[in-house]
Structure formats: C-alpha cells, structure tokens
Amino acid sequence: MLDLRYVSENLPEVKAALLRRGFTDAELLDRLGRLSEERRNLIASVESLRQERNEASQAMAKISDKTSETFQAKRDRLRALGDEIKRGETKQVELEGELETILLNLPNLPRPDVPDGRSERDNVEVRVWGDQPSFGFQPRDHVEIGSQLGILDFERAAKISGSRFVILKGLGSRLNRALMQFMLDVHTSEHGYEEVWPPVLVKDSAMRGTSQLPKFAKDAFRIAKDEEWEAQADARGHDLYLVPTAEVPITNLHADEIVAGSDLPLAYTGYTACFRSEAGSYGKDTRGMIRVHQFDKVELVRFCRPEQGETQLEILTGHAEAILQKLGLHHRVVELCAGDMGFAAQKSYDLEVWLPAQNAYREISSCSWFGDFQARRMKARFRPDPKAKPQLLHTLNGSGLAIGRTVVAILEQNQQADGAVTIPEVLVPYMGGVERIPPVS
RNA sequence: GGAGGAGUGGCCGAGCGGUCGAAGGCGGCGGAUUUGAAAUCCGUUGUAGGGGCGACUCUACCGGGGGUUCGAAUCCCUCCUCCUCCGCCA
C-alpha cells in the first residue's frame, strides 16, 4: 500500500510512475486526491467540535446541582453537539473506507532505475551462468523423461485430483525431498537464515498484508468458498486461504510488531507446499509440472532498514542463485521491466533456468524488494534506535527455489542418451548415495 | 464439541461514569555515585492523525465493533483471541 499523504501530495509523479507499469487510471488518482482533501477538512472540523465538547463536559462535572436549569440547558445543547460529532465521524469512516479501497488496489511504484517495458520481452538480462548443456540427441522434456522413469505420474494425479496436479514416485519423490532438505540446509548454515515451518492456511489479513488480497482473490484457494457452506454455523472460524507461497505466513511474522533496529536485517527461510488456482492461465503450460495447482517451494524472506533495501535485494538474489550454481544448472538472471513486475514489487530479479526441451529459459525464482509497501499493510515497523520513532520496515523475498521446477530442470538438463538422469553431486548424500536415476530396461 | 476464566502502555499490574493517556513495578534511555562494574538515587520513557517554519498544540486509542450517557478504561450488547478442565483426535 502506498502512503496516502505521499500520493496526495505528489499526484503527478505517482501517475507517471504508475503509468510505467501500465496503470492508466489517472481519474482514480484524481478522485483519491479529492477524497484526501475532503478527509483532511472533515478531521479538522470534527476535532474542533470534540474539543468544544470535552471542555464543556468538564465544566458539567463541576456543576454540583445536576437538576438545576443551567445544567439541563447545557445538557441539551451538548446533546445536539454530540449528534453533530457522530455525523462527522460516520462521514469520516465512509471517506477513509473509500480511500483505503483505492489504496489497496494501487500497485507499488517502480524504482526509477527499473527499466521501461510492457512485458517479459522487455526484461533485461543481467548475467548468464554456465553453458547450455549439449546433447548428442534430441533432448526430451521432463514429462517424457519422468513418465518413462516411473517417477512422475500425471494420469493418476488427474484421476485423484484433476488436471494440473502431479504425483512424484520413487526416486522422483526422493529427489523432491532431497531438494527441500538441501536448500534449507544451505540457507540456514551457509546464508544465515532462520528456519521457519509456518502454517499453510492463513487468514485474509495475512493475505492482505503481502498483497495477495484484495486484488488477486481469484488466484488463491479459499476454504469456505461457496455461500451455502459458508452459511453453516460450523464453518465459522474456518475462513482461511491456502497459501500461494510461504512469503505470506513468513512475511507476516512481524505484522503489527515493532522490531529493534539492532536486530536488522532479519532473514527467514521456510518450506511450504504452495497452492495456486491458476485462474486465467488456461492453455498455458498445461503439460507437465511447470504450472500446477500444488507445488513445493523453499522461500527466502528478509526484513531491513530502508537504506539497506537495495543491497539486500542483491544479497537475497545471490542466495537463491547459489542453489542453482551448486546444482550445476545453467541459468540466467534478468531484471524485470516496470510492466512485468508483480503488484507489490518496486524492483525484481527473476532467475530463469534453462529448459532444453523448450529451448528457453523459464522462471524458477523471483526475487523482489517491496520497499515499505507490504510493511504499511502489515504495520510491520522497526525502531531505528531505542529513543527513535518507529519506522516502516522494508521487506524482500525470493524463491530459493521452486522445487518442482528444479526437478524439471534437473531431469531435462541432466538427461542421458540411455534415458537415465544423473543426480547433481551435492544432492547425492541427500539421495542416500544414489548418483543416477537409472533407465528402465 | 461441553464447562469455566481472562483480555489495560515494550512486559507485569492497579483503576469510584467526570482534570485517566491512565497509579505502581519491571525493562529501556539519560544523569549522579564508582578506578570499572554491580547495587543505589534522580530524571525520562506509548502509537496514530490534524494544525504550525518552529517551540508547540489539538484529537483519537485501555482486544474489535455497536449501544446507553452531557461525558465511558469504568455500564449494556455482540464478536474475536487466549488460558484451564472434560470429551474427541494425528
């Protein structure tokens, strides 16, 4: 959420910045400006009425004879004053509700250094790591490889849960588990993150804190979705969302808190299953496990002082990238253009891993710096030093990494002519010594 | 699911319907004392919004919301959360 005061006082700049990311509703911003002005005037008048009432009320307390005519007269006058205050308060609640609705639907402002652009085609390649693996044969895609090795089962997943689900089996399941362990181990013991195992069902306030709500409700799975179910008395207390990413519960760790400046930066890593409805992605990546309703991910979350944000983003991106490097997976880093960034981000890097069967780089991690955008929604603050006033934190997060897509990349990049897949060396200990998933004869 | 109990400032804990933003303690910060530290003493210490260049000032906030009242931390209603016991359960 943007700062109301900042937006009201800098309308032209805000319009220009939002335009860069394709937000063209200038009228909405003008309306916000008018409402903000109205609110300010209203507050001034209501407060002076309240002051008048407070002073008069105190005088009332000093009148000993509560039945006297003067007391009665004053009381009647104050009753009218009280009504007037109430009307003003009601109006204020209305205005602030409208303002909040607008603010909750405004995306973050891209940093000035974020490149212009409308879509992912305009993203800027920052660096490429490793070489494209070359095969002496036509590389197959992970669906083919996984099905043949008996480690991925899409048919049975569809039977049980529908489309866009996958079942991992045998060494495939083990690989998934090994990756989770490996990533968490690296981030905790080498990168200094504190490990967190959070709930995967969260309240709407948490979803609002990190900006999945209110704008992207269609993308999330919600418990108590239909009205009939919701109407049941038993359903109360279960209005929860399945997390689309561990970012939600982990970032909200410090919602409504004031942390000590001396504790910053804070760094957390955690694994969760992630659930996404993939609304509006019909026909996109329907094959395989690139885009499924449920996947596993290890997430990195950092909290810092505003002035640390820029550096922290580089650090966090490096931590995510280190996983790809240790796994020996060819990939590149791109900086997202203004038009391709997520709603809450003010600057983002994507890590894209090479998928030979698609002859393309595909996103495997997105690392973002949100400024105080999420912190304002969450009321997550820090005290710069013990005497100072609290300030909004800056938040960052990134996948470290999406495990499903990592499995895909390993299968595709490490496939052998005989149909086997080699296990990256760093994972072998986590695989109980298994060095390759053998071909089925 | 059943039965009880409780929600006050960073924490603990008082609080007659009216000078209560709220006693006291702890913690934090500043200072005195000390060679240094501990102990002790003194002072200070919430958040948000509005106005003012500023010193400053006004308003709101005692789990959330609503109500009664001239006036609510204090009375009423309601919701939420937490704790204890019983039942069920991985």
- The pLDDT tens digits along chain A (441 residues) read 899 999 999 999 999 999 999 999 999 999 999 999 999 999 888 888 888 888 888 888 777 676 777 778 888 888 888 888 888 888 888 888 889 889 999 999 999 999 999 999 999 999 999 999 999 999 999 999 999 999 999 999 999 999 999 999 999 999 999 999 999 999 999 999 999 999 898 888 889 999 998 888 889 888 765 555 555 544 444 678 899 999 999 999 888 888 888 888 999 999 999 999 988 787 788 889 999 999 999 999 999 999 999 999 999 999 999 999 999 999 999 999 999 999 999 999 999 999 999 999 999 999 999 999 999 998 888 888 777 788 899 999 999 999 999 999 999 999 999 999 999 999 999 999 999 999 987
Does the C-beta of A218 come within 7 A of strand B? no
- Kindly report the bases of strand B lying within 7 A of a protein C-beta atom: 1, 10, 18-19, 28-29, 47-51, 58-60, 66, 69-71, 80-81
pLDDT in tens, A192-210: 999 999 989 888 888 999 9
pLDDT in tens, A318-358: 999 999 999 999 999 999 999 999 999 999 999 999 999 99
Confirm whether A291 is a catalytic residue.
yes
Rounded distance in angstroms from the CA atom of residue A324 to the C1' atom of nucleotide B34: 58
Q: Answer yes or no: are the C-beta atoms of A369 and A348 closer than 8 Å.
A: yes
Confirm whether A302 is a catalytic residue.
no
Rounded distance in angstroms from the CA atom of residue A217 to the C1' atom of nucleotide B50: 35
Q: Answer yes or no: are the C-beta atoms of A21 and A346 closer than 8 Å.
A: no
Does the C-beta of A45 come within 7 A of strand B? no
Does the C-beta of A381 come within 7 A of strand B? yes
* Check whether domain A120-437 has CATH 3.30.300.30, yes or no: no
Question: A246, A241, A393, A411: which is closest to A309 by C-alpha?
Answer: A393
Q: What is the pTM of this model?
A: 0.91
d(CA A4, CA A41): 15
Active-site choice (A96, A363, A383, A436)? A363
Break chain A into its structural domains and give their ranges: 4-104, 120-437
Active-site choice (A276, A302, A376, A377)? A276
Rounded distance in angstroms from the CA atom of residue A55 to the C1' atom of nucleotide B72: 16
Q: Which two tokens stand for residue A247?
A: 């970012």
Domain covering A4-104 in this structure, CATH number:
1.10.287
Confirm whether A208 is a catalytic residue.
no
Could you identify the residue written with the tokens 């409402």?
A35
Peptide bond into A265 cis (omega under 30): yes
Rounded distance in angstroms from the CA atom of residue A341 to the C1' atom of nucleotide B67: 48
**CB burial class (10 A; 0-12, 13-18, 19+) of residue A320?**
buried
Rounded distance in angstroms from the CA atom of residue A90 to the C1' atom of nucleotide B75: 24
Active-site choice (A366, A368, A381, A399)? A366
Does the C-beta of A234 come within 7 A of strand B? yes
Does the C-beta of A201 come within 7 A of strand B? no
Rounded distance in angstroms from the CA atom of residue A88 to the C1' atom of nucleotide B27: 41
CA atoms within 13 Å, Cβ hemisphere of A190? 14
A388 CA: nearest nucleotide by C1' = B29
